[in-house]
Structure 1
Amino acid sequence: MTKRTSIMIALAVAIVSAMLAVAIMANGPKPVATFRVTAEKTERVLAVVGRVRPNDLVQVRPVNPGQVIRLLHDEGDRVASGAPLAVIKSTVEQAQAEAELARLAAARARAAEVRQSLSRTTTLFERGFAARAALDQARAASRAAEAEVTAAAASHRATTARTREFVVTAPMASIVLARPIDNGQVVTTTTTIFELGAVTGFEVEAEVDEAYADTLRPGMAARVSPSGSRTVYRAVVSEVSPKVDASTGGRRVRVSPEPIPRLAPGRSVDVTIVVGPAESLIIVPRQAVVDATVAPRVLVVGLDNIARSRPIRIADWPSTNAIVESGLKAGERIVLTPAEVATGSRARPLQPER
């Protein structure tokens, strides 16, 4: 046998061996990624994204429409309760207040004159030089003059109070969060000229789907973490809105962190509300569940390495993984990629890192 013949025979044997190996692999058990089911102590939680807001948030609007002639504060300023924020043009109202002040001065002068006349008439009556009718007339004139003074004073107070309403003041000690207008702008009674937030305390507000909000109650424990941060703060549910927003189908939920961190209003925060205490639950990756919304099932790999379909019941609860209420028990293996494995086929489990 020549050297060339030996090489040809060896090559033929290698090709046949390779073909046999391919055939064996094609007909043998398919390697699949599996997941070993275990029962774990797990809390049932609801995770949503909320926003930081002050405990008290006020949209300041003017009592009267007009042109803003002076803005006294800007975003970030701290203001005391009652501090002036803006001035709206009130030329006519100021003129009316001056006119009412002049009427009050005239009424007081008239009342002083009538009082002097009453004093003289009283003296003449006591000396017998004036009739009682003249005295009665003088007394009536005095009462009328005093009434005119009272009416003029009330009118002046009303006009002055109306004029003061053109100076917009802060309803509470607060910080200016927004000032959406500029000097010279004409505003109405529905125009927000300042947004104020309480200087102490804040809460996190989130919207929860109505299907899950019914399980929430004030006092429930929660955790909050500013988006992009690993810091976690303890919190408690402080309020659950009694109504559903018809436009979004959600209910407003507020949580109060303890202690209160320093976060800017409007900052997005990850909120985790603990709905149920830690209990032993079977949790599997959602990718392993077939037809999760209609008839959930998984492929279970038995001791004979055959993948069999099994119906399960999963909790209707939003979570990263599926919470299995029945159909599986600890120690069983399920296929992680059921779309790649036919029911009843043989499988060679590959246990991935969990």
Structure 2
Amino acid sequence: MARTRIGMLVFLAVLNGATPASALAQEALAVDIVEAEVTTTERRSSLTGEIQASQSLMAAFPIGGRVTEVMVELGAKVEQGAALAQLDSIQQELAVRAAEAGLVTARADHVQAREEFDRAEALLTSGAGTRAVRDAAEDQLRAAEGVLAQAEAELDRAKKALLDTVLRAPSSSTVIQRMIEPGQIIGAAQPALELALDNGLQAVFEISEAMLIEGTPSAIELSRLSSPKDTFDGVVSEISPLVDAATGTVAVKVAIPNPPDGITYGDPVRGTVTRSRGQLISLPFDAMTASADGPAVWKVDPQTMKVSLHTVEVERYATGEVLLAEGVEGGEWIVTRGAQLLFPGRIVRRAEAGQ
């Protein structure tokens, strides 16, 4: 019975020269309409990094041996030439004493050879000596001079080896890593301490490679995690040319021209980059619908109040709104509530309050 009644209604509509759709289109549908707004948007991205020294170095002994003392702790500030660690120096001290004794002997032999040569030279001049004796004395003097020079070199080498048992700071710096302990046997050039040179701070971040596609930001806003409201400026100083195979990230170093008081190595910091996204169209979220070609909106012709479906390019979604890059111009009328009831050519009107 119900199917027969619907058929009769359609038949009557045909007799009156109208389709069901055109019949509905005669009465304007009450919908909510908004004007598309042009807005300048910004995108803020934040990451957490770590404060490091702008320059650091690994301090190491040039010789191997057993560590007897480490004079500094982590975080200690040291001046240039300050002693950092000590190796067992018994062998070096014995070598210095032996070299000093050898030098004393070499000097005595040199003095004796000089006297013998002077005596032979005087006898040859007076006619009481022979040239062979004088030449032999000269040979002895030259040999003594060679032995003396060798003894002096041996002493210098022994003293240098003794000095090498003490590790000293090459410049004013801060100890940021300690890799040796008393009693430990280490080899020559094995890293013992890592020193941060006192020539500035930098923040280091591990950044997704995709974030660098948009280009290098000119400035970065930094803040300590312990005091996020206290911000300071940073400037990108270096971007690693390699991507970490394990994490897929790129190391980015940010120089800090004017670091705040109290900040030090190892402090966690937040870096924030603000990028302008240009002018976009802002619409309420409920204005969005879909077509066969993708996201779309219903536009209203202010003259005829007829609607038409237009595809749009969505830049991004935000809370309660959607930002469009293309498809809508500023000031155009867009249907929001009631869009699910529309079809192309449908006549609409603005809904009054409470409708």
Question: 1:268: which partner in 2?
Answer: 268
Aligned 1:40-55 pairs, distance under 5 A: 40-43=39-42, 46-55=45-54
Q: 1:132 to 1:167 in 2, by over 3 A?
A: same
Q: Tell me, yes or no, if the aligned pair for 1:296 and 1:314 is still in contact at 8 Å.
A: no
Could you give the per-residue CA deviations for residues 305-345 of structure 1, whole angstroms, max 9, x where no partner exists?
x9x89452548xxxxx987533455577799xxxxx9x956
Question: 2:125: which partner in 1?
Answer: 126
Could you give the per-residue CA deviations for residues 238-294 of structure 1, whole angstroms, max 9, x where no partner exists?
2223333344333322222342213121112111245x55732457899x999xxxx
Give the superposition deviation at 1:200: 4.6
Aligned 1:73-152 pairs, distance under 5 A: 73-152=72-151
Question: 2:195: which partner in 1?
Answer: 196
| Separation in 1, partners of 2:138, 2:276 | 85
Q: 1:122 to 1:190 in 2, by over 3 A?
A: closer
TM-score (norm 2): 0.69
Could you give the per-residue CA deviations for residues 22-60 of structure 1, whole angstroms, max 9, x where no partner exists?
xxxxxxxxxxxxx99744323456533221112222232
- In the alignment, structure 1 segments of 5+ residues that lack a partner are 1-34, 316-320, 336-340, 347-354
Q: Tell me, yes or no, if the aligned pair for 1:125 and 1:131 is still in contact at 8 Å.
A: yes
Give the superposition deviation at 1:225: 1.6
TM-score (norm 1): 0.69
Give the superposition deviation at 1:118: 0.8
Q: 1:113 to 1:212 in 2, by over 3 A?
A: same
| Separation in 2, partners of 1:281, 1:248 | 34
| Separation in 1, partners of 2:113, 2:81 | 42
Report SS of the residue matched to 1:153: helix
Question: 2:221: which partner in 1?
Answer: 223
Question: 1:312: which partner in 2?
Answer: 313
- RMSD of the TM alignment (CA)? 4.2
| Separation in 2, partners of 1:91, 1:138 | 40
Give the superposition deviation at 1:163: 2.5
Report SS of the residue matched to 1:138: helix
| Separation in 1, partners of 2:335, 2:255 | 41
- In the alignment, structure 2 segments of 5+ residues that lack a partner are 1-33, 343-355
| Separation in 2, partners of 1:100, 1:296 | 92
Larger Rg: 2
Report SS of the residue matched to 2:80: coil
Q: Tell me, yes or no, if the aligned pair for 1:213 and 1:251 is still in contact at 8 Å.
A: no
Question: 1:158: which partner in 2?
Answer: 157
Q: Tell me, yes or no, if the aligned pair for 1:37 and 1:334 is still in contact at 8 Å.
A: no
| Separation in 2, partners of 1:289, 1:106 | 101
Q: 1:247 to 1:273 in 2, by over 3 A?
A: same
Aligned 1:160-179 pairs, distance under 5 A: 160-179=159-178
| Separation in 2, partners of 1:104, 1:324 | 89
State which drifts further: 109-118 or 249-258.
Answer: 249-258
State which drifts further: 112-121 or 69-78.
Answer: 69-78
Give the superposition deviation at 1:297: 5.2
Q: Tell me, yes or no, if the aligned pair for 1:298 and 1:334 is still in contact at 8 Å.
A: no
Report SS of the residue matched to 1:239: strand
Q: Tell me, yes or no, if the aligned pair for 1:59 and 1:194 is still in contact at 8 Å.
A: yes
* Aligned length, in residue pairs: 301
State which drifts further: 237-246 or 265-274.
Answer: 237-246
